[in-house]
Chains A and B, each alone.
Chain A
Amino acid sequence: MTETVSSKEAKQYIVVKLGNEQYGIDIQYVDNIVRMQKITRVPKAQDYFNGVINLRGEIVPVMSLRVKFELEKDEYTNKTRILILKFEQQAAVGVIVDEVREVVTLDSDNIEKVSYNPNDEKTLYLSGIGKHNDNLISLLNIEGIIVEKEKEA
Chain B
Amino acid sequence: MDVSQYLEIFIDETREHLQSLNEQILVLEREPENVDTINEIFRAAHSLKGMAGTMGYKRMQRLTHDMENVFSEIRNGKMKASPKLVDVLFKGLDALEQYLDVIVNSGDEGTEDNEDIINALNEILQEGLGGGAAEPAPAPAAPAAPVAAATATAAAGENGVKPYTLAEHEKSAISKALSEKMNAYAMTVYIQESCILKAARAFLVFKALEDLGTVIHSEPSVQDIEDERFEFDFTVVLLTDKDAETAKKKVENVSEIKMACVETIKPEDVAQAVAEEKKETVEAAAAVQKEAPAQANNTAAAPQKTSGKPVVNRSVRVDIDKLDDLMNLVSELIIAKNGLVSINTAEVTGLRESGFNEQIEYLERITTNLHQSVMKTRMVPIENVVSRFPRMIRDISKKLNKKMELYMSGEETELDRTVIDEIGDPLMHMLRNAADHGLESNEERIKAGKPEVGSIFLNAYQDGNNVVIEVRDDGKGVDVEKVKKKAVEKGAITAEQAATMSDKEAVDLLFRPSFSTAEQVSDLSGRGVGLDVVKSKIEALGGDVEAKTVLGEGTTFIVRLPLTLAIIQALMVEIGQEKYAIPLGSIQTIEDVMPEDIKYVQTKEVIHLRGNVIPLIRLRKVLDIPEDDFAPDSLTVVIVAKGDRLAGLVIDNLIGQQEIVIKSIGKYISNNKMIGGATILGDGEVALILDANAIV
Contacts and interface: CB of A to CB of B under 8 A. Distances in A.
Contacts of A93: 666, 668
Contacts of B664: 59
A54 interface: yes
B578 A59 contact: no
B669 A53 contact: no
Interface stretch (B11-19, B154-162, B343-351, B683-691): B683-691
B692 to A, nearest CB: 15
Contacts of A153: 670
Interface stretch (A22-30, A40-48, A115-123): A40-48
Interface in B647-696: 663-672, 674-675, 677-678, 680, 684-688
Contacts of B623: 43-44
Contacts of B686: 38, 40, 51-54, 59
A97 B154 CA distance: 79
Contacts of B670: 44-46, 149, 152-153
Contacts of A53: 686
Given A38-B685, A54-B685, A92 B666 contact: yes
A54 B578 contact: no
Interface string B418-449: 00000000000000000000000000000000
Contact of A44 (B624, B667, B677): B624
Residue in B622, B668, B684, B688 with the greatest tally of chain A CB atoms within 10 Å: B668
B668 A40 contact: no
A75 interface: no
B678 A43 contact: no
Nearest to A49: B669
Given A41-B578, A53-B686, A59 B665 contact: yes
B675 A59 contact: no
Nearest to B624: A43
Contacts of A92: 666
A91 B668 CA distance: 8
User: Chain A: interface residue count, which band?
Assistant: 20 to 34
Interface in A114-153: 146-147, 149, 152-153
Interface residues of B, number: 25
A53 to B, nearest CB: 7
A59 B663 contact: yes
Contacts of B687: 40
Contacts of A91: 666-668
Nearest to B686: A40
Contacts of A51: 686
B566 to A, nearest CB: 13
Contact of A40 (B578, B666, B667, B671): B578
A51 B685 CA distance: 12
A58 interface: yes
B685 A46 contact: no
Given A43-B624, A43-B675, A54 B680 contact: yes
A43 B667 CA distance: 15
A54 B664 CA distance: 12
B665 A52 contact: yes
Interface in B608-646: 622-625
A43 B624 CA distance: 6
Given A40-B688, A42-B688, 11 more contacts: A42-B669, A43-B625, A44-B624, A54-B686, A59-B663, A59-B665, A59-B666, A61-B668, A63-B668, A147-B668, A149-B667
10 contacts: A40-B685, A40-B688, A41-B578, A44-B672, A46-B670, A49-B668, A58-B663, A59-B664, A59-B665, A92-B666
Interface of A: 38, 40-46, 49, 51-54, 57-61, 63, 91-93, 146-147, 149, 152-153
Interface of B: 578, 622-625, 663-672, 674-675, 677-678, 680, 684-688
Top-10 shortest CB links A-B: A40-B686, A43-B623, A61-B669, A59-B663, A59-B678, A61-B666, A54-B686, A49-B669, A54-B680, A45-B669
